[in-house]
Chains A and B, each alone.
Chain A
Amino acid sequence: MMQPLIDPHSFDELQATAGADFVAELVDTFAEEAPRLLAELRSAQAAGAAERFRRAAHSLKSNGNTFGATRLATMARTLELGGLPADAAALHTLAPEIDATLAALRTLARP
């Protein structure tokens, strides 16, 4: 069975702790940061910069976990722990996953 995009329990808890308005802003911040992290992953992969690649994947994983975006976090974790991939194919599925996650987060944050 496929993992849900966002774990509703984690997201609810985040809203309860930090406030729904703040979480909506935080989602906006993530929407600005995520493409930057993706670009960093691509450029690090192209440059063969393993440490930069690992760090960007680590950041993405960490943010995914914060929002309860378990599927995205799992993908990012695989990249973080997997070492520098030989080609950019490993990143192909990541871009649509980020888009889908952001769309789902926006809906949850501002219903």
Chain B
Amino acid sequence: MSATTPPVDAGAFGRFEVLTAERRLLVDGQPVALGSRAFDLLAALVARRDRVVPKDELIEVVWPGLVVEENNLQVQISALRKILGAQAIATVPGRGYQFTLAALPPTTAVVAPRLPAGATPRPSRLLVADDNKVNRLLLCRSLELMGHEVASADNGRTTLDQLRSERFDLLLLDLEMPEVDGFSVLEQRAADPTLRDVPVIVTSSLEGAAPVARCIELGADDYLHKPVNPVLLKARVGSSLERKHLRDRERELLARLAPGLPNGTPPAAARRVEATLLLARLRDIDTLAVSQPAQDTLELLSHWSTLMLDAVEGHGGVICQMTGDGLTALFEATPWAAVQSALEMMELLAMFNAERAASGKPAVAQGIGIASGDVLTGPAGTPRRMAQACVGAAVQRAARLEALATERAVSLLLDDTSHAAVAGRVATRSLAPAVLPGSAAVVPVHALKAG
């Protein structure tokens, strides 16, 4: 927290400027989104830049009074290096870290890429649940001023509906609400594995310790008394979001090791479902792999998978297979969810390419095929390595459509069934019919109007 950060002079280091009082970092005069822990860490390193700072000391400054794992510190260091360039913070093995930028002449100080406007980290999505309009508006406003995207709900029932239909990084929950109150929301969240990942900060003007204790027992992260103190709000929200993002990273890693088992939930038994399959693949990765260092390729695959996983899970999809440069996802809700996921994938890829361009790396392309139909899905494999199996003509159609998208130089192809289900919601055009698995004659295929 800011109170424990030692005072330092605001300083300029090449293209970077650290504004301690405002808690901001400027790159070429432009503010950069930086988590509150990352800022504390940067301020601490800048203040002690005359020496190597031991890890314990940094942890004590950034997480005062808390016992945290060393990898939390490493995550923050790596976030700073992404912005400042790897050489800005030196690792001295066994001793700690040192901020090095001051020693370099400003003109050659930094070769780090500048994040283009579109490639700054995505703002966190927060949901504010409060039946009291004044409280709701004020809380939304305060969070928006902190740079978050905020949606709101005015009772417990709509809160649960929104949590189930959209992706949120944090819920700010009032307790006193008509119909379904905050306690019931916490109870239902605790019972639902798909909601348990969204951290909750309870905000209430209920008095006494009993409601606080009950909320914490029901799995709330934190409790803030109303009227909410803005400094505390910022600190608690920042800390909850950081924990959420760390957990997300862990989950992504797990998902890559054991595809098809998001959130650690046990797989359902095999069943036959009407579903939509989405197959996405990075194009020409083999060509790229021979022209760049292996580490760069692995990093590229890892970033791409992380982004695409987000786009799948954000729209209720389940990963059936991940192959590094490709993934298959199952959407049981509607074909529209799969198409929305594909649109988000395309948007994320554009952002990703902007970021790559800024660091002088070539753009990458991907193809997506979407097909709907009857599939058999269920757990398959051995206990050590489980996967969500997904079998059916639609799976093969999606794969064929992805390949066809590449042949026809479009980014997305839909089969006729999926297309009929989303007609009118997105502008499409029909391409020359093709033979697809599961159909004897040629059948229509559809691309997006733009690309």
Contacts and interface: CB of A to CB of B under 8 A. Distances in A.
Interface of A: 10, 13-14, 17-19, 22, 25-26, 29-30, 32-33, 55, 58-59, 61-63, 65-66, 81
Given A18-B141, A18-B142, A66 B230 contact: no
Interface of B: 131-135, 137-138, 141-142, 145, 176, 178, 205-207, 226-227, 230
19 contacts: A10-B227, A13-B230, A17-B145, A17-B230, A18-B138, A18-B141, A18-B142, A18-B145, A19-B145, A26-B134, A26-B137, A29-B134, A33-B134, A58-B206, A61-B205, A62-B135, A63-B135, A65-B227, A66-B134
A14 B206 CA distance: 21
A33 B133 contact: yes
Contacts of B137: 25-26, 29
A29 B349 CA distance: 42
Contacts of B205: 58, 61-62, 65
Contacts of B138: 14, 18, 26, 66
Contact of A66 (B131, B145, B206, B226): B226
Given A65-B227, A66-B227, A59 B141 contact: no
A70 to B, nearest CB: 11
Contacts of B142: 17-18
A60 B63 CA distance: 37
B122 to A, nearest CB: 25
A55 B176 contact: yes
Contacts of B230: 13, 17
B181 to A, nearest CB: 9
Given A26-B134, A33-B134, 8 more contacts: A13-B230, A25-B137, A62-B205, A65-B205, A65-B226, A66-B134, A66-B226, A66-B227
Nearest to B231: A17
Nearest to B205: A62
B141 A22 contact: yes
Nearest to A62: B205
Contacts of A65: 205, 226-227
A19 B141 CA distance: 9
B176 A66 contact: no
A58 B227 contact: no
Nearest to B230: A17
Nearest to A36: B133
Contacts of A63: 132, 134-135
A6 B136 CA distance: 21
Nearest to B206: A58
A58 B207 CA distance: 10
A62 B141 contact: no
Contacts of A17: 142, 145, 230
B21 to A, nearest CB: 15
Contacts of A18: 138, 141-142, 145
A33 B138 CA distance: 14
Given A26-B138, A66-B138, A59 B176 contact: yes
A59 B178 CA distance: 12
B129 to A, nearest CB: 14
A17 B176 CA distance: 25
Contacts of A30: 134
